[in-house]
Amino acid sequence: MDFQLHAFGIHERMPTGLQHYSSGIKEWLFIFFHDEAQIGTAEGSVHVSPNSFVVWEPKTEQIYGSRIVEWDHSWLHVQGTAIPTFLEENNLSPRTPIPYQQSSIADALMHRLYQEETKWSVPDSRIQKNHVENALIDIARASTSKQEIDPRLQRVKRAIDSQPQLTPTLQELADIAKLSVPHLCAQFKKAFGQAPVAYLTHSKIERAKHLLSTRKDSISEISDALGYSDPFHFSRMFKRKIGLSPRQWRSEQTTQG
């Protein structure tokens, strides 16, 4: 068997504490940590920064989570002879946190897998395999092309990613980093490719796409969940970025294929 997707979970928020499976599972486990966490290894506990990828081989002990705060993650159970090849070709080692910084990598993968699972009576494993392989390539490229990110900037990015219902001002974000607003804007864009406000908008739009495609909430409810006081403002913002209104985009996803 070349590749098979057995199960997956999208943005599952977990209570404070560690998950411990002494014998692991029979498939490969891929986890995308959206929040700060830790994993257990033979050498002890290893810190995991937000937006990091960790893979475990089948039937190996798995310890992961956070003893300090609630934490968010997405995951895959996959199987097949293609998996070791994917990992080797991209220099991705099991049980080693691999930071990729760009939250869109994991979100895009999970959205595509969800679409394939829900739009077709028999999902095509070849398409799922391609989605996973492309995501691993993106992770490998992002992890090798990025220098160590300033922890102050990571705090700002984490504040944006972990609380999509909030719309902090630039000054509030600068206070988190303990930097001036101009310095924050320049350094954040250098590190993440977007200025803080642009990244905040992008983060909300990506979260909106996920909610629109996976839930039956009304446009107004999704607008509220993302911190917009006016659903019409949310719709205008969404259309300006995506080219379709939220309702049109949802309808297109529903009728796709």
pLDDT at residue 185, as a whole number: 93
pLDDT at residue 148, as a whole number: 67
Return mean pLDDT, the chain: 89
**DSSP code at position 171:** H
pLDDT at residue 210, as a whole number: 83
Per cent of the chain over pLDDT 70 is 96
Strand partners, 73: 12, 33
Contact 105, 135 (CB under 8 A): yes
pLDDT at residue 231, as a whole number: 92
Statement: residue 132 has pLDDT above 80: yes
Reference 55, options 39, 34, 35; nearest CA is 39
pTM: 0.60
Cα 47–Cα 203–Cα 130 angle in degrees, nearest 5: 75
pLDDT at residue 61, as a whole number: 92
Handedness of CA 219, 225, 226, 227 (dihedral sign): positive
Q: Which domains occur in the chain, in start order?
A: 4-145 (2.60.120.280), 151-255 (1.10.10.60)
Of the ranges 193-197, 212-216, 231-235, which is most confident? 231-235
Q: What pLDDT digit, counting tens, does each position of 12-60 carry?
A: 999 999 999 988 899 999 999 998 899 987 657 788 888 899 999 999 9
Statement: residue 86 has pLDDT above 80: yes
Reference 132, options 62, 29, 34; nearest CA is 29
Contact 42, 168 (CB under 8 A): no
Between 166 and 54, the more confident residue is: 54
Question: 2-6, 190-194, 195-199, 230-234: lowest mean pLDDT where?
Answer: 190-194
pLDDT at residue 26, as a whole number: 93
Reference 31, options 78, 74, 92, 84; nearest CA is 74
How many whole angstroms separate alpha carbon 142 and alpha carbon 93? Answer: 15
pLDDT at residue 144, as a whole number: 65
The b-or-e profile of 103-137 (16+ CB within 10 A means b, else e) is bebbbbbbbbbbbbeeeeeeeebeebbebbbebbe
3-state SS class at 79:
strand
Statement: residue 240 has pLDDT above 80: yes
Encoded tokens for 77: 């159970």
Mean pLDDT of 92-111: 89
